Amino acid sequence: MKIRVIIPNASVAFLRTQIEERRWAAGHGVEVSTVCLPSGPVSLESGVDDALVAVPLLQEARKAERDGCAAIVIDCAADPSVRAVREYVSIPVVSAGEAAFQYALGLGDRFSVVTVLPNTARLIEERLRMYGLLLRVASVRYADVPVLGLEDMALAGERILEQARRAIDTDGADVIVLGCTGMSPVARRLQENLEVPVVDPAMAALTLAESLVRMGLTHSRRCYPVPPAKEVVGEPQLKWEY
């Protein structure tokens, strides 16, 4: 089973730190190939970033399907362009935020998300409302560390831990969902320091993708119909094909 993990940003440096991480997380018999985008912002933290990655993300998704992948992971907790990608390909499309929320639902009554920046927190809140899950959310918090600042594990870990602690003690969270796939290394340390389950969205997404393939499930075409074909004007969209 081949699974393509698409990191929806254009940072090759960031990509390098994630490749082993994803390979390690893959199940038996799963071949994971992790890519980032050829163009776009070097991290996804805001609605603007979300907009900027849309086209290259669709292109990478189509490429993954053509490469014979069994499933696609959108490796970002802000779930960029999920609807578009599901319309555009027929193999299962799993996104890291949504996957983490799905697992969190079975672990406690209420989860909190701890993400990187204010913009990201707002994006995630919007998704949670869109998913109709607000009754199960204690809070969405941010550590005020940019994605690329997560490399400084000592500082980032401290700040994330502090927000997770408040989510539990003040907001009543039963479960912590990390709100950025770049937080995987922190996840383990956090789990050792917190008495509640900590869901790593990168691992959640990969696991969910494998599971769907094994169960023979993909997204509903009633909900994500094939998009109507049409003329697309200009570059680089000119070569676009639905």
**Residues of span 132-161 touching a copy of itself by CB under 8 A:** 132-136, 146
**Residues of span 7-46 touching a copy of itself by CB under 8 A:** 10-11, 27-29, 37-43, 45-46
Segment interacting with a copy of itself, rule: CB under 8 A, options 47-55, 63-71, 158-166, 177-185: 47-55
- Residues in the chain, total: 242
- For a copy of itself, how many residues bind (rule: CB under 8 A)? 99
CA angle, residues 26, 30, 31, in degrees to nearest 5 = 95
Segment interacting with a copy of itself, rule: CB under 8 A, options 16-24, 52-60, 63-71, 156-164: 52-60
- The 3-class secondary structure across 118-170, one letter per residue, is HHHHHHHHHHHHHCCCHHHEEEEEECCCCHHHHHCHHHHHHHHHHHHHHHHHC
Determine, following the binding rule CB under 8 A, whether residue 225 of this chain makes contact with a copy of itself.
yes
Determine, following the binding rule CB under 8 A, whether residue 75 of this chain makes contact with a copy of itself.
no
Segment interacting with a copy of itself, rule: CB under 8 A, options 16-24, 64-72, 159-167, 223-231: 223-231
Segment interacting with a copy of itself, rule: CB under 8 A, options 16-24, 48-56, 63-71, 153-161: 48-56
Burial 150-167 (b: 16+ CB within 10 A, else e): beeeeebbebbbebbbeb
> What angle in degrees, to the nearest 10, is found between the helix axes of 12-25 and 201-215?
50
Determine, following the binding rule CB under 8 A, whether residue 218 of this chain makes contact with a copy of itself.
yes
The alpha carbon of residue 16 and the mean position of all alpha carbons in its chain are separated, in whole angstroms, by 17
Structural tokens at position 132 = 């109709």
Determine, following the binding rule CB under 8 A, whether residue 183 of this chain makes contact with a copy of itself.
no
Find the binder of a copy of itself among 90, 170, 193, 237 (CB under 8 A).
237
* Residue 182: strand, helix, or coil: helix
In angstroms, give the least distance from the CB of 180 to a copy of itself.
13
Determine, following the binding rule CB under 8 A, whether residue 217 of this chain makes contact with a copy of itself.
yes
- Burial (CB count <10 Å: 0-12, 13-18, 19+), residue 50: buried
Segment interacting with a copy of itself, rule: CB under 8 A, options 64-72, 128-136, 154-162, 177-185: 128-136
Find the binder of a copy of itself among 18, 112, 115, 119 (CB under 8 A).
119
User: In whole angstroms, what is the distance from residue 58 CA to residue 8 CA?
Assistant: 10
